A and B are shown apart, each in its own frame.
Chain A
Amino acid sequence: MTLLEVTLSDRCKRVRALTCALIYHAGSGHPGGSLSCVDVLTWLWDDAFADKPPGGERGDQLILSKGHACPALYALAHQYGLLPATDMTRLRALGSALQGHPDVVTLPWVGTSTGSLGQGFSVAVGRALGLRLQDDPGRTYVLLGDGELQEGECWEAAMSAAHFGLDHLTAIVDYNGLQSDDQNANIMGLEPLADKWRAFGWNVTVIDGHDLDAIDGAINEARRVTARPTVVIANTTKGKGVSYMEDSPLWHGSVELRDEELESALRELDVPEQDLSSWIDGSFFS
C-alpha cells in the first residue's frame, strides 16, 4: 500500500465522520446511502476535482443524481476547501447553502439541483452532449442509486447516452442493495443489472465500491473506452464504516442521530477521543 492510498483511505474516514456530524447537527438526513458512496466520491473528487472544482460551463462535472446522499458530498467539499467548517453544523438549516438536497443555485458546483431520482442522470446526458457540441474535452460523472434505477427515466437516459455514443460520460451505481423500505429485490428487483446495462449498449465494470484501487482501475478504464459510455457498478455496503448502520435499511431514510449514536460512529471513524465532545456540541466547527 502506497502512502497516497493510506492518505486517501484516511480521507474517506474523515468524510464519513463529517457526514455523520452533518446529519446529527441537521437533526435529519440519509446516513446509509451517504456512507455507502463515500469511497467512490472521495476517489473521484481527489482525482478529478481537487485542483479544479466542478461547476463551470466547461470542463469536468460530477452530478449526484442520488441527491439524498448530499451529506457525503458536502463533507467532501469541506475537505477540499469548497465549504467552510462552520457549514458542517448548517445542513438543512434555514438560509443555509447546504439544502436538504443539492441546490445548484446556492452551490453552483453541484452542477444541477437533484433530489427527484432519475433527473440527474438525464441532466448528465445533456451536459455531456452540450460539451461535445462545443468541442470541450470535459467529462461528466453521475452517481446513481440502485433504487433510483427503478425510475423509468434512468433507462431513457441510458438508452440515449449509448445512442449518442457519449464515451465521456461515466455513470456509477452505488449498489448497496437496499432502498428506503427494504432490499431492492423485495421492492422491485434490479437483477440481472449488469446485463441490463450491457443490453442498453454500455461498457460495464463491476467492482467492490469500497476498494480504492478497484475504483481507480474502473474509472481510468472508463476514460479509455471509446464510442460508448461506461457504467461502474460499485458493490457497496449501506452505512459503510458505522457498524450499527451497516447493511440495514433502517438507516436509509431521513433519521435523527442521537448523541450516543454520533459518538459511537465518530469513535469507529477514528475521530480522536479528545475531540468527540466538540464534534457533538458543534464547537469543533466554529
Chain B
Amino acid sequence: MSNVTIDDGPSLIGTSGDSLREAFGKALVEFAPEFPQVVVLDADIAGGTGTHHFRSAYPDRFIQFGIAEQNMMAAAGGLASTGLIPVVTSFAVFCLRALEQARLSIAYSQRNVKIVASHPGLDVGPDGGSAQCLEDLAAFRAIPGMLVLSPADPIEMRLATRAMLAHEGPVYMRTGRSPVGRIFDEDHRFEIGRGQIVRPGTDLTIVACGVEVGRALRAAEELAADGIDARVVNMPTLSPIDTDLLECCAEETHAFVTAEDHSVNGGLGSAVAEALAQRRPAPIEFVAVREFGCSGEPDELAERFHIDSTAIAVAARRVVLRTRIL
C-alpha cells in the first residue's frame, strides 16, 4: 500500500520556474497594497496563471468564477462599475472564448478591467495545438481602446503589471507558460506605448515581443558572426504601437524583421507593417506562425514552426538582401 499523502502529491508544473506568469502573480501581490481596489477573477486555473500567490495573500479579494469564462469576463464589467479594478485571469485561448464579452461589457462600456492571459502561443508546449493561442493579439488589438501588452522577461512583467494597474482603461496582457531567461537588469524602465532598442545595430531592425525577444537577441549574435549588424527592439506594447521608434529605426536601418509567438495575421508584424506603411515604408520579413501548433516542447516547436533564432536570422539575411537589390 502506498504511503503517499496529499502533501506528497504531484508538484504543479505551473507553480515552478522563472516564468512570466509567475512573475505576474508575484507582482500582483507586491502591488496589491498600492491598488486596494484590485480584485482578481479566476476560472479554476489559479495554479496555472500565477494568481495562486494573490489567492493566498488576499483571499477576500480573489473571486472564483469556475470554468465559465464568458460570465467571468462580463461580470468583470459589472465589478468595475462599482469602482473596483477587476483583473480577469485565464489562459489566452479561453480569453478568446470570451472575446465578445471583453468587447461589449468591457471595452465598449469603457470599463477599467485588466485581462491577463497566460499560456499564449507555441510556448504552451505539450498541451498541444488546441491550447496554443495564436490569435489573441490580433483579436484584442482590433478592439478600440484596448491596450495590448506582451512583456518579454520577468523584470519587465513586474513593471508592466504595475503600469497596467495604474492605467485607467481596458488592458489585455500576455504572460507566458514556460521559464524564460532574463533580458533586462533591475534598472529596466517600462512605459506603456514605448519600445526600446535592446541591442544597437545599423543593417536592419528586428522587432520582437514576449518570448521572441530572447530569440531575436540570439539571432543578432548569429548574424554578427556573418557581418550583419542587427538592431533589436523590444516592443512590449502592441497597441498603441510605438510608431515614433519604428520610424526612427526605418531611417537608420532601412529594413525590418518582426518576430512573435503568434499568427502571422494581425499581431506584432501587422502592427509594425501598418505603422511603417503610413510613416516610412520599408522592407519587412515576418517571423510568425502560419498554421495551428501541436504538442512538443517550446524550443522544439519554435524550430518546427520557424520562430526560433535560426528562423529570425534567415529572415534577417533575406530582408538585408532585399534592401541591397532595391
Contacts and interface: CB of A to CB of B under 8 A. Distances in A.
Interface of A: 57-58, 61, 103-105, 111-116, 118-131, 133-134, 136, 152-153, 156-157, 159-160, 163
Given A122-B105, A130-B78, 19 more contacts: A104-B109, A111-B81, A113-B109, A116-B104, A122-B72, A123-B74, A123-B81, A123-B105, A123-B109, A125-B71, A126-B77, A126-B79, A127-B78, A129-B63, A130-B39, A133-B39, A152-B70, A160-B65, A160-B71
B110 A104 contact: yes
Interface string B290-314: 0000000000000000000000000
Interface string B70-104: 11111111111111101000000000000011001
B82 A57 contact: yes
A129 B60 CA distance: 12
Given A113-B104, A129-B75, A122 B66 contact: no
B84 A133 contact: yes
Nearest to B69: A156
A136 B82 contact: yes
B226 to A, nearest CB: 53
Q: Binding site of B, secondary structure by majority: helix, strand, loop or mixed? A: helix
Contacts of A120: 74
A119 B105 contact: yes
B81 A127 contact: yes
Contacts of B39: 130, 133
Given A122-B75, A126-B75, A133-B39, A58 B109 contact: no
For the complex of A and B, 4 pairs with smallest distance between CB atoms:
A126-B78, A126-B75, A130-B82, A122-B74
Contacts of A121: 74
Contacts of A127: 78-79, 81-82
Give the interface SS of chain A, mostly helix, strand, loop or mixed.
helix
B108 interface: yes
Contacts of B71: 122, 125, 153, 156-157, 160
A61 B82 CA distance: 11
B70 A153 contact: yes
Interface in B48-79: 60-61, 63, 65-66, 68, 70-79
Contact of A123 (B61, B66, B78): B78
A276 to B, nearest CB: 38
Contacts of A116: 100, 104
Contact of B68 (A113, A124, A160): A160
A141 to B, nearest CB: 13
22 contacts: A57-B81, A57-B82, A104-B109, A115-B104, A116-B100, A119-B74, A119-B101, A122-B73, A122-B74, A122-B75, A122-B78, A122-B101, A122-B105, A123-B77, A126-B75, A126-B80, A129-B75, A129-B79, A130-B80, A133-B84, A156-B71, A160-B68
A128 B78 contact: yes
Contacts of B104: 113-116, 119
Contact of A131 (B76, B80, B82, B110): B82
Given A153-B70, A156-B70, A160-B66, A58 B75 contact: no
A122 B73 CA distance: 8
Contacts of A112: 77-78, 81, 105, 109
Nearest to B60: A133
A136 B79 CA distance: 13
Contacts of A125: 71, 75, 78
B103 to A, nearest CB: 8
Contacts of A131: 82
A204 B308 CA distance: 58
Contacts of B66: 159-160, 163
A205 to B, nearest CB: 23
A272 B82 CA distance: 43
